[in-house]
Amino acid sequence: MEQPFALIVGTRRDRSHTDERAAVPVTIRDVARASGVHISTVSRTFSAPHLVNPETRVRVLACAEDLGYRPNRAARALITGRTHNIGLIIADIANPFFPPLIKAAEGQARQRDYHVFVADTNEDPVAEEELVHALAKQVDGVLLCSPRMSNTLIEQLSREVPLVVINRQVAGLPCVMMDVGQGARAAVEHLVGLGHTAIALLSGPRGSWTSREIRRSAAAAARAGGAELTVLGPNPPTEHGGGALAEQVQRAGATAVLAYNDLMAIGLIEGLDALGVRVPQDVSVVGIDDIALSRLTRPKLTTVATPTAAAGRTAVDMLLQLETDAPRGPRGAGRDAAAGARRTTAQVMLQTELVIRDSTGGVPSSGSPGAERVGPGPHRLADPGRPTAATGGAVAS
Amino acid sequence: MEQPFALIVGTRRDRSHTDERAAVPVTIRDVARASGVHISTVSRTFSAPHLVNPETRVRVLACAEDLGYRPNRAARALITGRTHNIGLIIADIANPFFPPLIKAAEGQARQRDYHVFVADTNEDPVAEEELVHALAKQVDGVLLCSPRMSNTLIEQLSREVPLVVINRQVAGLPCVMMDVGQGARAAVEHLVGLGHTAIALLSGPRGSWTSREIRRSAAAAARAGGAELTVLGPNPPTEHGGGALAEQVQRAGATAVLAYNDLMAIGLIEGLDALGVRVPQDVSVVGIDDIALSRLTRPKLTTVATPTAAAGRTAVDMLLQLETDAPRGPRGAGRDAAAGARRTTAQVMLQTELVIRDSTGGVPSSGSPGAERVGPGPHRLADPGRPTAATGGAVAS
DNA sequence: CGCTTCACTGCAAACGTTTGCAGTGAAGAA
DNA sequence: TTCTTCACTGCAAACGTTTGCAGTGAAGCG
């Protein structure tokens, strides 16, 4: 244990030979012996109570309770082929976007007597694939949240274990998505409505479906509104990733910014602040996700609210539904054509909503203070320290 | 699926009868047949490679690779008694305090070929107990993070499954703690050093060991520094919990506040702001944890940094160590006195550090603007309408 | 009374591994 | 040559469940 601060404050001999720790694991057989029935009856008492005589049942339950019996899920899984576990693979657990989704998924799963296995990939596509493999055999299905890998790989993996994809569309697979496209459109329209014509888009990580959707919709909305959209990225979807773009935003002469997510938006505001650029007076910023944090920063963030909790619940439901439709039994089950061929894979789109707070405002008056600028038209920040022409970054198609 | 926003955008018949989905699960037997050896040899190829002839090994591995064989962990667990899973039970995954700990634990576990099962209790002691029970049989051990239940219950549960307790001291059990006591002391001393004599403590949830430690140390430090400490609580450890206390803080006449965690501190600052009380000009606020968020709010939060990642890593190591010391084998193993009695349970204390940022400052001048107050003595906020002098900014101790 | 039905329970074979033990043949020692 | 050692592999019994099948006795029915 190589922690720098580690410091042993106390050690202690464990309980002596009378140690009751790790008490003999009590199995179904112990319960059977104690209650004078066969193990199969005990098994049925738990998994098919209606098949056993009420008297017997109470006796067995009493004995089980008494001995502290808990069915061994591994053994059960071995024969039934269902672990009652769900894997949830997410890009970065430290991103506040995910916890609500995780909580919702856990809650929904727990209600259905399932457990959720959460794993973090650090935004790494390779880790993602490995995790799916590792989880495949110990869960009944996997929720893939904001995957960064390729569509073909996802399809391939879906052959190994039932998959539900969150935040991405993959043909032929059950997906639950949030309509960030619509959200991005609303955000851009909001900005255009405020008079902005030079808008920057901070895109997300490479391989992000969400990022592509945002970009496409934002570009369309900007075009429709007569504004110019400068795309900056791809970027890591963190506050740091946002902060690092402050200068580029400034150089690009944008008066408004749409960020891939709130974290980046907040980081950007920080970065702009360090450059002496004020939000929303000098530059308007809008994020996406509406994480709790976006209500806590100053200025409070204008953002596109995504229904993360609903997405978590829905995904769990879809996965479980998928399981009941086409169980992958222990034996060569499921070859039943009637069940197999009639299955349909649903794709759900959850709506988003623009939440207007304090980080967006009108276009700053240019050059000479006092000159109100409202109408559209090309416009650069007066003098951000350097000659302004340069429209850095990529321009959306 | 009762989502208000739910909207089916597309359904699609699944692949037809040639469906390769849920392909026949390939077992060790298939590999054995393919490579012309006995299943035990295949087994050994994976779990004890040195026992099998190199030639055979490569052949088996090739076949396994070819067939896409993955050992069934459930079956393995059944016989070895080790699932290679770790349970991690935390109070609230949405609290940004936890994600770094979770990530660290996951990383450390992954390195040792273990997986982490994260579960959230919503700060509910009952859910906590249920979760331990539920996890007991499908993990090799459980990390109990910031548990809210009673010590006796924890001890009792530790008989059912190996336990490592994080953020709490339980006699006889391995624990990894963070020295919040020392941190609270430093925080109070910092405040006293700035001249504050009326300090409020926002305590945490009922049953929190951390909260008790903080309270004890803060009280001692306040006494030593000649300041008066008003304890407010218990409270839910959330921003909302903090925000709800703004009025009480004001009524108590405190000029400085130490909060149970950063979330509460941030919430409090919000709440005070709504009341027209400015931080740090009118009231100084110190948090605990140093979550990422504390660097992003305005003012940046003065706080006690806790080594959460280190705690996560350490806890995993301790749990795994505990396992190797006294494995709970499938058979009546472990009754070996030499191994059993010699075990010691370590308790590790990780150090904390006060990070001074912008949310603490000097004592506001009372009543008449300009009258500098520095010395100790009873003091109330002159006019909550705030006509203050304000010595903002941070002062290093 | 004899037959069927029914509710309940026991039997035993799985599920996919691991692992102690024994067997094999070849190499080395005497 | 014969005996021992050794590296490797096969055999089969577990691990703790579930579940199809068959057996039991009692109740219902004609």
Whether residue B11 contacts residue A346, with contact meaning beta carbons closer than 8 Å, is answered with: yes
Residue at A95: amino acid letter: N
Query: How many whole angstroms separate alpha carbon A40 and alpha carbon A57?
Result: 12
**Mutation site for B-interface testing, chosen from A137, A155, A308, A313 by largest number of B Cβ within 10 Å:** A137
Q: How far is the CA of B51 from the C1' of C30 (A)?
A: 29
Hey, are the CB atoms on A266 and B93 less than 8 Å from each other? no
Query: How many whole angstroms separate alpha carbon B48 and alpha carbon B30?
Result: 19
Out of B3, B115, B347, the one facing A10 most closely (by C-beta) is B347
Q: Bridge-partner residues for A228, per DSSP?
A: A198
Higher pLDDT among residues A395 and B55, named by residue = B55
pLDDT value of position B24: 66
Q: How far is the CA of A40 from the C1' of C13 (A)?
A: 13
pLDDT value of position A44: 95
pLDDT tier at A283 (50, 70, 90 boundaries)?
very high
Give the number of beta-carbon pairs within 8 Å between A and B.
245
Average pLDDT over residues A307-333: 81
pLDDT tier at B204 (50, 70, 90 boundaries)?
very high
pLDDT value of position A54: 94
| A214 is near strand C: CB distance < 7 Å | no
Packing angle of the helix pair B39-47, B54-67 (nearest 10 deg): 90
Hey, are the CB atoms on A93 and B72 less than 8 Å from each other? no
Average pLDDT over residues A324-350: 58
The per-residue pLDDT of chain A, averaged, comes to: 83
Q: Which residues lie below 8 Å from residue A148, measured CB to CB, with a gap of 6+?
A: A91, A121, A123, A124, A125, A128, A205, A206, A207, A208
CB count within 10 Å of CB B187 equals 30
Hey, are the CB atoms on A310 and B99 less than 8 Å from each other? no
Hey, are the CB atoms on B133 and A344 less than 8 Å from each other? no
pLDDT value of position A236: 96
Query: How many whole angstroms separate alpha carbon A89 and alpha carbon A149?
Result: 12
User: Residue closest to D10, CA→C1'?
Assistant: B38
- The percent of residues above 90 in pLDDT, for chain A, comes to 64
Whether residue B340 contacts residue B322, with contact meaning beta carbons closer than 8 Å, is answered with: no
Distances (CA, A) of B188 to A371, B233, B251, B342, B352: 51, 18, 20, 42, 14
pLDDT tier at A325 (50, 70, 90 boundaries)?
confident
Closest residue in chain A to residue B83, using alpha carbons only: A74
Q: Cα-atom radius of gyration of chain A, to the nearest Å?
A: 28
Among residues A96, A77, A226, A89, the alpha carbon closest in space to that of A168 is found at: A89
pLDDT value of position A335: 39
What's the per-residue H, E or C state across B63-88?
A: HHHHHCCCCCHHHHHHHHCCCCEEEE
Residue B86 backbone phi and psi in degrees, to 5: -125, 135
**Could you report the per-residue pLDDT of B143-198, keeping only the tens digit for each?**
999 999 999 999 999 988 999 999 999 999 999 999 999 999 999 999 999 999 99
pLDDT tier at B326 (50, 70, 90 boundaries)?
low
Residue B304 backbone phi and psi in degrees, to 5: -100, 115
Average pLDDT over residues A150-155: 95
**Could you report the per-residue pLDDT of A66-106, keeping only the tens digit for each?**
999 989 988 999 999 898 999 999 999 988 999 999 999 99
The alpha carbon of residue B379 is apart from the nearest alpha carbon of chain A, in Å, by 30
The alpha carbon of residue A59 is apart from the nearest alpha carbon of chain B, in Å, by 22
Higher pLDDT among residues B220 and A1, named by residue = B220
Packing angle of the helix pair B180-193, B209-225 (nearest 10 deg): 30
- pLDDT tops 50 at residue A7: no
Average pLDDT over residues A298-311: 96
Tell me the CA end-to-end span of chain A in Å, nearest whole number.
52
Q: Which residues lie below 8 Å from residue A119, measured CB to CB, with a gap of 6+?
A: A87, A88, A89, A90, A131, A135, B106, B115, B116
**Could you report the per-residue pLDDT of B331-363, keeping only the tens digit for each?**
434 334 334 444 567 899 999 999 999 999 999
Q: Bridge-partner residues for A257, per DSSP?
A: A200, A285
pLDDT value of position A123: 87
Coil vs helix vs strand at B256: strand
Among residues B323, B310, B244, B256, the alpha carbon closest in space to that of B107 is found at: B310
Q: How far is the CA of B42 from the C1' of C16 (A)?
A: 12
pLDDT value of position B293: 87
- Chain D bases near protein CB atoms (7 A cut-off): 7-12, 14-20
Among residues A266, A225, A268, the alpha carbon closest in space to that of A243 is found at: A268
Query: How many whole angstroms separate alpha carbon B346 and alpha carbon B354?
Result: 26
pLDDT value of position A265: 97
CA angle A243, B307, A5 (to 5 degrees): 130
Higher pLDDT among residues A344 and A231, named by residue = A231
- pLDDT tops 50 at residue B59: yes
Average pLDDT over residues A344-369: 85
pLDDT value of position A37: 95
What is the DSSP secondary structure assignment for residue B178, as one 8-state letter?
Answer: E
pLDDT value of position A308: 97
Structure tokens that stand for A133 in this block: 């493999």
Report the range of poorest mean pLDDT among A248-252, B202-206, B378-382.
B378-382
Out of A3, A16, A106, the one facing B310 most closely (by C-beta) is A3
Structure tokens that stand for A375 in this block: 């109408």
Q: Using DSSP bridges, classify how beta strands B284-289 and B347-350 pair: parallel, antiparallel or unpaired.
A: unpaired
